[in-house]
Homo-oligomer: A and B are copies of this chain.
């Protein structure tokens, strides 16, 4: 980086922090109707910042649910790539309030951390990209690439509007790469690129064995109990080692390369860590895969909810005629949610004995798993950017959950998605005392600048 940019970034820190604190004071909780005006206010506050940064076409996108904000800077020229930056300015609720050391919407610096709801997720990580653009335009008068921002206001409440908006505005949002900072790195000095997320299929299973609940005195022993029938079906979906027994379930699962497995083996996470976090007596699952692989690169079948019969206080000697389960599969590349739905449904139907009727109702469309191969050029640009700022090569991580917007961007815009996080594992996301480690806020601004430079192929350093 040039001296003038370095000096600018050094000098700007107090102002950048004060601005972020101002944004964090707006309680933009998107799931609570009474905070709807705050979500809108967080949007208009961001728009003012974007204008101040020098972005063009700053636009409030009103939707049926919560607003989005768009802005761009497209003067790098047609031979330069376009980077689409996504973020969100809505935040999670704050309960339980008494557990916060300082109030969630009074951003407070303690030590090297800034405490506030949204500090890390995702106002802080969104704002650092605005500050990167501002720094470049203030010092160089131009960006090395074209940039578009799309920032939503309901990531914490379903991302409804953006799912419709992106496909309908594919040309407007066209880009060479999408950049998202809504994840965490491994440790303050160890950057990480999240290159894979699992997909999902969910369903409700209903087992019926009679047309009404029966008295166990009169019918016990001669009518199949629906709870028992459900347990007997569900128990057949895994073998004793935790492998899923649904025929064909693993057919399309991406095979990990030896290089990838060896990279994953280097991550500082394993059985000791998962046991400490969960309190489980011992780990579970496919013995031929590591904990990191099982939770990131292998599919699952979970019983998220299960119920039937009398579940209140006391006792009722009923034979339930129906029992229910909510099940879900975490999917990996290249599993097709619709095919998984078919396989699981067919398997349960085939397992059901003549005493049992089983129904499987898919409860949402299901999402494909996400993967950006880590030899993709955009991922490598992100890696070089991290390396320059953190003076440390990033590690490559997988996450077991999904981020809905990643699927939308990938499937609609057909761009690689780079998940370049600056949070930390202990940021207390969705919990009391959410924080952002401030050194990484400032490093994030520099890394964002470095990434834009790397994407341009125009390293302006030195």
**A interface residues with partner B (beta carbon < 8 Å):** 198, 200, 202, 209-212, 214-225, 227-228, 230-232, 234-238, 240, 242, 274, 277-286, 291, 294-295, 298-300, 302-312, 315-321, 323-326, 328, 330, 353-357, 363-364, 399-402
Contact between chains at B325 and A227 (CB < 8 Å): yes
- Of the candidates A212, A291, A325, A402, the one having the most CB atoms from chain B within 10 angstroms of its own CB is A325
CB nearest to A324 among chain B residues: B311
A278 and B223 within 8 A (CB) = yes
A315-B202, A323-B306 as given contacts; A280 in contact with B221, CB under 8 Å = no
Besides the known contacts A227-B305, A283-B355, 17 further A-B residue pairs in the complex with CB atoms under 8 A apart = A202-B315, A209-B281, A210-B280, A211-B278, A216-B304, A216-B400, A218-B399, A222-B283, A232-B234, A235-B236, A302-B317, A304-B315, A305-B308, A309-B326, A311-B324, A315-B364, A317-B401
Q: Flag if A285 contacts B326 (CB, 8 Å).
A: no
With beta carbons under 8 angstroms apart, the residue of B230, B294, B323, B330 that contacts A216 is B330
Using A210-B278, A235-B232 as known contacts, say yes or no to A217 and B307 having CB atoms under 8 A apart.
Answer: no
C-alpha gap A315/B291 in the complex (Å) = 25
- The complex places the Cα of A432 from the Cα of B98 at a distance, in Å, of 52
* Cα distance, A378 to B227, chains bound together (Å): 42
Q: How far is the CA of A357 from the CA of B230 in the complex (A)?
A: 21
Which B-chain residue is minimally distant from A220 (CB atoms)? B300
Tell me how far the C-beta of A343 lies from the nearest C-beta in chain B, rounded to whole angstroms. 18
| Given A274-B222, A285-B222, A355-B284, CB of A305 within 8 Å of CB of B295 | no
CA distance A325 to B227 in the complex (A): 9
A305 to B324, CA, bound (A): 11
**Known: A211-B279, A221-B286. Is A303-B309 also a contact (CB below 8 A)?**
yes
**Are the CB atoms of A295 and B198 closer together than 8 Å?**
no
What residues on B are CB-neighbors of A319 within 8 Å? 302, 304
Cβ-defined contact, A302 with B216, below 8 A? yes
> In the complex, A294→B218 CA distance in Å?
10
* Residues of chain B contacted by A221 (CB below 8 angstroms): 242, 284-286, 294-295, 298-300, 330, 400
- Give chain B nearest CB distance to A290 CB in angstroms: 9
B225 touches A302 (CB 8 A): yes
Give min CB distance, A399 to chain B, whole Å: 7
Inside 8 A of A277's CB, which chain B residues have their CB?
219
| Cα of A298 to Cα of B200 in the assembled complex, Å | 45
Report yes or no: B281 in contact with A355, Cβ–Cβ below 8 A.
yes
In the bound complex, do residue B300 and residue A401 qualify as a contact, i.e. CB atoms below 8 Å apart? no
A270: nearest residue on chain B (CB-CB)?
A: B222
Task: Give bound CA distance, A303 to B217, whole Å.
Answer: 13
- Verify B231–A235 contact, CB threshold 8 A: yes
Q: Is the CB of A306 within 8 A of B304?
A: no
- Among B218, B235, B304, the residue within 8 A (CB) of A320 is B304
Q: CB < 8 Å: which of B223, B240, B299, B311 contacts A305?
A: B311
Q: Return A324 CB to nearest CB of chain B, in Å.
A: 8
20 contacts between A and B (CB under 8 A): A210-B280, A211-B280, A217-B399, A219-B274, A219-B295, A220-B302, A220-B400, A227-B303, A228-B234, A228-B235, A231-B235, A279-B321, A304-B315, A305-B308, A305-B311, A305-B312, A306-B323, A307-B311, A315-B328, A317-B401
CA distance A409 to B167 in the complex (A): 76
Closest to A221 in B: B294
With contact pairs A282-B354, A328-B315 given, residues A306 and B231 touching in the complex (Cβ less than 8 Å): yes
Q: Are A310 and B304 in contact (CB under 8 A)?
A: yes
Partner of A310, one of B228, B305, B312: B305
> Could you say which residues of chain B place their CB within 8 Å of the CB of A308?
303, 305-307
Interface-centre pick from A214, A222, A305, A325 (highest chain B CB count, 10 A):
A222
A280 / chain B contacts, CB cutoff of 8 Å? 209-211, 223-224, 355
Question: How many Å from the CB of A203 to the closest CB on chain B?
Answer: 10
Q: How far is the CA of A366 from the CA of B316 in the complex (A)?
A: 14
- A306 near B307 with CB under 8 A, answer yes
In the complex, the answer to whether A309 meets B315 with C-beta atoms within 8 Å is: no
Complex-state Cα separation, A205 to B313, whole angstroms: 14
